[in-house]
């Protein structure tokens, strides 16, 4: 009795195998990246290598890390011991919603600006380090910009002020 393999990749099936690999490779890479973010957060390591975008608040320039993936948003600025005054983090969500933030494992006092799609600041909230108090947007937004506490106030920026930059460009 001869044995026959249960499954064999024949020549016509090879393009399908290549297609599956090309589809699965980016998903695997994304999963590994998310796993690294989670591992870094669990070990108390801050996220320092997220993509960046330049924003403006009038004549003031902001160098913002951009957190778009759920795990990146979850870690945010946790475990950072310092941050230059012109830097911050822009959280980008898929859909406008009431966004709520807290400061678990966040060592810096921050101000969160809840920002509408057109760059208008909806509301600002000061947040204290290591607090689990929830701070929410007053209406649905897709963007939240966290800066060192006092950055907005020192520049006279408040609800109704406008931010500009690539994320707020008209669609």
List pLDDT tens digits, range 7-44: 334 444 445 445 445 444 454 444 444 444 455 555 68
Predicted pLDDT at 145: 98
127/40 Cα distance (integer angstroms): 23
- CB of 119 closer than 8 Å to CB of 67: no
The distance from CA 127 to its chain's CA centroid, rounded to whole angstroms, is 18
List pLDDT tens digits, range 61-105: 999 999 999 999 999 999 999 999 999 999 999 999 999 999 999
Helix (H) or strand (E) holding 24: helix 14-42
| Dihedral angle, C-alpha 66, 50, 135, 171, nearest 10 ° | 10
117/50 Cα distance (integer angstroms): 21
Question: Which of 160, 165, 123 minimizes the C-alpha distance to 141?
Answer: 123
Exposed e or buried b per residue across 110-121, where buried means at least 16 C-beta atoms within 10 angstroms of its C-beta: bbbbbbbeebeb
């Amino acid at each position: 009795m001869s044995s026959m393999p249960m499954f064999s990749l024949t020549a016509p099936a090879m393009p399908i195998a290549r297609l599956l690999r090309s589809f699965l490779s980016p998903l695997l890479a994304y999963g590994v990246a998310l796993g690294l973010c989670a591992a870094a957060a669990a070990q108390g390591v801050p996220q320092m290598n997220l993509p960046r975008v330049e924003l403006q608040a009038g004549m003031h320039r902001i160098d913002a890390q951009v957190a778009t993936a759920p795990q990146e948003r979850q870690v945010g600025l946790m475990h950072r011991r310092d941050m230059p005054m012109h830097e911050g983090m822009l959280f980008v969500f898929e859909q406008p919603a009431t966004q709520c933030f807290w400061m678990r494992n966040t060592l810096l006092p921050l101000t969160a600006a809840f920002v509408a799609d057109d760059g208008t600041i909806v509301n600002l909230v000061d947040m204290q380090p290591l607090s689990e108090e929830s701070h929410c947007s007053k209406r649905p937004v897709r963007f939240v910009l966290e800066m060192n506490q006092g950055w907005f106030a020192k520049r006279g920026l408040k609800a109704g002020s406008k931010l500009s930059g690539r994320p707020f460009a008209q669609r």
